Amino acid sequence: MLSIANVASSAQAASYYEQADDYYSKDRSPSQWSGQAAATLGLSGPVQPEDFRRLLDGQLPNGEQLHNAAAGRRGGTDLTLSAPKSVSIQALVGGDVRLLAAHENAVARTLDYAETLAACRVTVDGVTTKQATGVLAVAQFRHDLSRAADPQLHTHCVVLNVTQRSDGAWRAMDNEALYRHKMLMGALYRSELAREVQALGYEVRIEHHDGRFELAHLSRAQVRAFSQRAVD
């Protein structure tokens, strides 16, 4: 499943991602940078809070401030990719940590596609057009709890509002294509995850015509028992 939402440019927004109340994963609940723009900016490995906050506010690691990075701007776009409940149960309660890697691989392939959608707006002589850039800076935060404190493996992929033009200039990222391709990216994540879990020896049970699935050995009643929001 994929949900998408804009992220404000504020320390409060940063804290939401950094202060994960993970119970099952504990030290196995990492953050990481991904995307070609992040690499160009020298960002790799775990996400450092100060780097993340500055980028939300339009400030690059070299101190450069993005054009029009004013108060109230969009800091980024949160693409949240959530594993099926049965995968979360098997990984976090059943202890099959291979499924964490399966989820991460599916997330990575989905973000590879998202990067092809990267673009910025260019204005020449009063005429504004879009220019494909193909590079993103993404801060990933993997969590393991739903808001109802059920096991729920999911990754917040915060696509920062920055991309690099072909001439090397850094500009705000046009996120319209991310919203337009939401359903496709969700389907891509599900298909890649299904392929990963089947390669590990699990059978899947298709639950919906859009490809949503659960692990076949866990019944619907077992899945429902770990889904408090569905019961309420």
CB-CB contact of 168 with 154 (8 Å): no
Active site residue 179: no
Active site residue 24: no
DSSP 3-state assignment of 158? Answer: strand
**Residues for the chain: how many in total?**
232
Give the separation between CA 41 and CA 217, rounded to whole angstroms: 45
Of the residues 17, 24, 189, 202, only one is catalytic, namely 17
CA 114 to chain centre: 10
Block residue for tokens 């404000």: 8
| 66 phi and psi angles, rounded to 5 deg | -65, 150
What amino acid positions are annotated as catalytic residues? 16-17
